[in-house]
Structure 1
Amino acid sequence: MGHSRTILGRLILFPFLHGFILLCMSMSTPLESATLSSGNTFGSETDRLALLDLKKRITRDPFHVLGSWNDSIHFCNWVGVTCNPSTKRVLILKLNSHKLVGSLPPSIGNLTHLTGINLRNNSFHGEIPQEIGRLQSLQALNLSQNSLGGKIPTNISHCTQLRVLNLYSNHIIGSIPNQLSSLLNLNILWIDINSLTGAIPAWLGNFSSLHELFLPEHFQGSIPNELGRLTSLEVFSLAANNLYGIIPSSIYNISSIKNFSVAANQLHGELPRNPGINLPNLETFHCGDNKFTGTVPASLLNSSRIQILDFPLMVSLGHSLLKILEACEA
Structure 2
Amino acid sequence: MAEDDERCGAGLAREYSGEQRTPVMQEKRCRAPASAPPLECSAYTLEVTGKGIAEIEDARSRILSGTPINIAFLGNESHDQRINAARVIRTCGFEPVPILSARRLRSMEDLDTLLHALIEVAAPSRFILVGGDPAQPAGPFADSLGLLSAGILQRHAIRRVGIVAYPEGHPKIDADALWRSLKWKVAFLREEGCAVEITTQFGFDADAVSRWIVRLRDEGIDCPVRVGVPGAAGAGRLLGFARQFGVLSSARIVRRYGIALADPVQHVGPERFLDRLAAGLIGRDPGNVLFHLYPFGGIAEATGWMDEYLAKHGVPGVVSLRSARPDCGNPR
Same topology, TM > 0.5? no
Higher relative strand content: 1
Higher relative helix content: 2
TM-score, normalised with respect to structure 1: 0.28
